[in-house]
Amino acid sequence: MRHVQHLLWALSLVSAVAQAQTVNLQQATEMALNADPRIEEQRANVAAAQALIHRVEGEGGIRASVNLYAALAPRAKDGIFTNGTNTCPAGQSCTLRAGGNTIDDGITVTSGIMASIIKPLYTFGKLENYKTAAQYNKQVKADQVALAKGETWLTVRRAYYGYLTARDTRQFLTGVRNQLAESEKPLQKKADAGQGSLRDVYALENGLGQLDRYIAEAEGVEKIALDGLKTIIGVPIHDSLTVADDHVEPVTVPEGSLEKFANQALLDRPEMHMAESGLSAMRAYVQARKSERYPNIYAGVVASAEFTPGRDQINNPYIYDPLNQALVTPVLGIKWDFNPGVIAANVSDAEAEMRGVVAKAQLAQVGIPYQVAEAYHSVHALKTEIAALDKARVAAKRWMISSFLDFQAGLIDGGKLAEAVKANTVTQVDYLRAVNDFNMQVAQLKIATGDYPQ
């Protein structure tokens, strides 16, 4: 029994180790790009757009139609003349029967087939323009895949940097709390012995309580960010996951001027490609709608046959019985489905959509450079802010350590120590938050310029 327990324990340990994963930012990004359903959804839209192209191409290909049927028909016998025959002897007066299509002779079953093979020859631009519109529509859908990838790329960084920032914040606050907690019991003993002030005890307890609050807050953000990272990269939420980086650090600032980044964005942003493709698609769509007022020229072969056993066959080229016949012939025709009101409405609707696409393209040309400028200025402002906070946090840490030593030596009271601890805590937390904001603004700058995996 003991061996079985050891074996089960070993298997559970191996399973836990196998489930644990450590990823860096690049690996997390690649996993997310392969796992995010939003990207797969956009890829499905591309496949649907390709199917639309095939449909338009199919409209211009050969189409076949076959209709096989059975029905009821009146019987007809005893000839076409009133004398009961199909012939009229010379010198006799013959009268055609008038009841050939009545049911006086009863009902029988008839069967027939109608078939056609048709190939459009010329559609006055309908097929060509619809196909062009469908092809540009596919390009729009492909750019939407790129947009989805960009959103995933940014989400990974938001979760990854957010987790590191929250973890560093929690670890820092925990370190400060542990350092202060070492003085709680000695301070209480001094106060009980009348050698210290209860005010200092209460000040220390208040500081510890405040630190506990912020530690709990950071711990919650840390767990949420890690679960978010698991979700976006496709790791089950209850599995173990660690990140390769020990601390959050400022990333490298992309080199280049604002003008360079703005020009790059106008060339590389998927939205610009979408605007161009969408405008071209709508132009072709408008032309296709206008072409609806013209006919289609086609060629093909038409065949039909019907056989009714209960009716006499008439072998006379001048008399046609649709219930006993066979026909096959090549055809050349013009088909015109013309509804002036509907066509005019369709053209107006297409032109209105094109105006909307033009407006979106103009908005992209104006808005994208502003997005680049916003991210660019934020990056450089945060870079300066980080440098200032880095100096401040070093001074704040020294202030807290010296105040702590002075407090233990009885040179200052708890209020002075609390002030130093608060300054150190706020400065360090602000620094970590600024690093996170800076890293995200660098990511936003890359998104704004189209500099991400597409």
> Which among 35-44, 178-187, 404-413 has the top mean pLDDT?
35-44
What is the number of alpha carbons within 13 Å of residue 80 lying toward its C-beta? 13
pLDDT digits (tens, 9 = 90+) for 111-150: 999 999 999 999 999 899 989 888 988 888 888 899 899 9
Other Cβ atoms within 10 Å of 377 Cβ, number? 13
Continuous H helices in 182-197: 184-192
Phi-psi region of 124 (alpha: psi -120 to 50; beta: other; left: phi over 0): left
pLDDT at 195: 66
As given in the structure block, the two tokens for residue 235 are 């790791």
Which residue bears the tokens 């990511």?
A: 443
pLDDT at 286: 87
Other Cβ atoms within 10 Å of 309 Cβ, number? 11
Across the range 86-108, mean pLDDT stands at 72
For the chain, list the domains and their CATH numbers: 21-60+123-169+208-295+336-449 (1.20.1600.10)
CB of 438 closer than 8 Å to CB of 18: no
pLDDT band at 311 (very low <50, low <70, confident <90, very high): confident
pLDDT at 340: 76
CB of 333 closer than 8 Å to CB of 301: no
As given in the structure block, the two tokens for residue 426 are 């706020």
Range scoring the smallest mean pLDDT among 26-30, 199-203, 235-239, 382-386: 199-203
pLDDT at 1: 47
pLDDT at 15: 46
Q: Write the DSSP string, 124-179.
A: TTHHHHHHHHHHHHHHHHHHHHHHHHHHHHHHHHHHHHHHHHHHHHHHHHHHHHHH
Other Cβ atoms within 10 Å of 158 Cβ, number? 18
- How far out from the chain centre does Cα 22 lie? 28
pLDDT at 434: 96
pLDDT digits (tens, 9 = 90+) for 87-97: 777 767 777 77
Other Cβ atoms within 10 Å of 133 Cβ, number? 24
Percentage of the residues of the chain whose pLDDT score is greater than 90: 42
Residue 200's H or E segment, with its range, is helix 198-233
As given in the structure block, the two tokens for residue 454 are 């597409």
- Please enumerate in sequence order all residues whose Cβ is within 8 A of that of 378, keeping only pairs 6 or more positions apart, or say none: 441, 444
Phi-psi region of 437 (alpha: psi -120 to 50; beta: other; left: phi over 0): alpha
- Please enumerate in sequence order all residues whose Cβ is within 8 A of that of 168, keeping only pairs 6 or more positions apart, or say none: 247, 248, 432
CB of 307 closer than 8 Å to CB of 73: no
pLDDT at 13: 43
Which residue bears the tokens 């606050």?
A: 173
pLDDT at 17: 44
Phi, psi for residue 119 in degrees, rounded to 5: -130, 115
Task: Provide the pairing of β-strand 21-23 with 296-307.
Answer: unpaired
CB of 405 closer than 8 Å to CB of 295: no
Continuous H helices in 238-339: 258-268, 270-291
More confident residue, 273 or 91: 273
Across the range 241-268, mean pLDDT stands at 92
Across the range 29-48, mean pLDDT stands at 92
pLDDT at 173: 92
pLDDT at 449: 92
pLDDT digits (tens, 9 = 90+) for 378-395: 999 999 999 999 999 999
Specify the DSSP class assigned to residue 20: -
As given in the structure block, the two tokens for residue 436 are 């996170």
Q: How far apart are CA 294 and CA 285, in angstroms?
A: 15
Q: In the predicted model, is pLDDT for residue 10 greater than 50?
A: no
Using alpha carbons only, how large is the chain's radius of gyration in Å?
42
**How does the average pLDDT of the chain come out, rounded?**
85
Q: In the predicted model, is pLDDT for residue 326 greater than 50?
A: yes
pLDDT digits (tens, 9 = 90+) for 187-229: 677 766 676 677 777 877 888 888 899 999 999 999 999 999 9
pLDDT at 51: 92
Range scoring the smallest mean pLDDT among 11-15, 17-21, 332-336, 389-393: 11-15
- Sheet containing 296-307: give its strands across: 63-74, 107-122, 296-307, 325-335
pLDDT at 389: 94
pLDDT digits (tens, 9 = 90+) for 358-379: 777 777 788 889 999 999 999 9
CB of 369 closer than 8 Å to CB of 262: yes
pLDDT at 411: 82
What is residue 313's three-state secondary structure?
coil
pLDDT at 383: 95
